Structure 1
Amino acid sequence: MNILSLNVGKPKTANFNGKEVETGFYKESVSGHTHLAKLNFEGDGQADLKHHGGVDKAVCVYPYEHYSYWEQDLKRELPIAAFGENLTVIGMLEEDVHIGDVFKIGEAVLQISQPRQPCYKIAGRHDVKDLTLRVQNTGYTGFYCRVLEEGMVEPDSTIKRTSVHPEKVSVAFANDIMYHDKNNMDAIKKILSVDALSDSWRTRFVTKLEQLTNNEK
């Protein structure tokens, strides 16, 4: 596991399908050490703080292995941070990491909190109307991390997994239940047993479980 690129960017105004929106999606690689605080990297920011950012979504991580798939699918070359991620990484695919896993990256300590839930800005950034749905359907979403310990991170910092969550609920598994196998009550209960699950995904799964339980009555 290693970092291919460390990316930050402040919110800016962009034109998505004829509409001006504020977005922190556009990020650029940094070459020097960067401080990671509880809410984000130095120099980074989010525009829509209702749906992005916060303690549970301080760092967005995306596997570089998916870039070749998207370049073929979209028929174009993609720049680094094409998915608005802070860390473009190698060796951390969604099926290989779990919600609650803890990683040491440079001086900082991060914990996976949820899969990255793609929004319309991915589609707007690449001018592909159904790209948000495509990302969901493939499961190539990346994931979010919370910061357990702040510290400096270098673009070439090593990534070391220091602990695996005992429930071993992979990011890929959580994605599958959220978007595909939506009525699997046992799977939802398993995901909810992960204490490290973000508040937003916990709320969604609790609501879904209540609906399924009521339907059985």
Structure 2
Amino acid sequence: MGEVIALSIGKEKAFTWKDKMVHSAIGKEKVEEVLLTVDGFVGDGVANKAFHGGKERAVCYYPFEHYKKWEEEFKIKLNPPAFGENICGTEFTEHNTYIGDIFSLGKAIVQVTQGRVPCSTISKYNEVDTFLSRIVETCYTGYFLKVIEEGMVNANSSFQLIERPQDKVSVWDATKVMLLDRKNKDAMLTILQIEQLAEDWKNRYKKALEKIN
């Protein structure tokens, strides 16, 4: 069982980076309670729909364990939700969470569908130019979940694993192939066998395989 460190929502807004205006929904704010629907948390939003949002990316989760690593590496203080995540929680990192894992989150039921493809907004928002490249190198990206059962979630909710359909491909495994190993045919074929994998990632792997063949 994991602990929810921060429950956060927010819509697109602007912030300044190197004297330029950036529009993003990364700057989410903590809330005490909010309804989670199949389309996401009520009051939440995204700016770039190519990488965020949609029913298979209704919830963005980022492991609290990584915060200490990044703070030590970049000599900065990071406060959740520094990565634009809805849920910052404990116990379930990319290494020990598997594609298809089903969790209870407050009164809702959610399922892991894919890792996260990070973008430069993370670097800009946290004012660390190398943040994006380091997240890609480590595959400490966080992950997305879809909603199986809608329900209320509050800041004191637990994040509890209730079912694991497969234990061969972790979020980290799938993300590593997606970001760093797009020529690994055997790995992609294995990942594509996972029924619960998001359609977007299925399509990305299939396109990568076509380039290999």
Q: Tell me, what secondary structure is at the counterpart of 1:141?
A: coil
Distance 2:8 2:104 in 1: 18
Alignment of 1:14-93 (within 5 A): 14-31=15-32, 33-93=33-93
Q: Secondary structure at the match of 1:112?
A: strand
Q: Which region of structure 1 is more displaced relative to structure 2, 158-167 or 121-130?
A: 158-167
Residue-pair matches, total: 212
1-structure distance, mates of 2:46, 2:160: 27
Which shows bigger deviation, 204-213 or 15-24?
Answer: 15-24
Residues 98 and 166 of structure 2 are in contact (CA less than 8 Å); yes or no, is this contact kept in structure 1?
no
Match of 1:138 in 2: 138
38-47 or 116-125: bigger deviation: 38-47
Deviates more, 1:143-152 or 1:156-165: 156-165
> Which ranges in structure 1 are unaligned for 5 or more consecutive residues?
none
In structure 2, the residue corresponding to 1:46 is in which secondary structure?
Answer: coil
Unaligned runs of 5+ in 2: none
Q: Secondary structure at the match of 1:152?
A: strand
Deviation, structure 1 residue 21: 2.6
Normalising by structure 2, what TM-score? Answer: 0.95
Task: Report the alpha carbon displacement of residue 124 of structure 1 after superposing the two structures with TM.
Answer: 0.9
Matched with 2:98 is: 98
TM-score (normalised: structure 1): 0.93
Q: Are the counterparts in 1 of residues 8 and 30 from structure 2 also a CA contact under 8 Å?
A: yes
8 Å CA contact 1:167, 1:194 repeated in 2: no
- Report the CA distance between 1:139 and its aligned residue: 1.4
Q: Is the 8 A contact 2:117 2:179 kept in 1?
A: no
Matching of residue 3 in structure 1 with residue 4 in structure 2: yes
Counterpart of 1:26, as a letter, is G
**Could you say which residue in structure 2 is the equivalent of 1:13?**
14
**Which has the higher mean CA deviation after the structures are superposed, 164-173 or 201-210?**
164-173
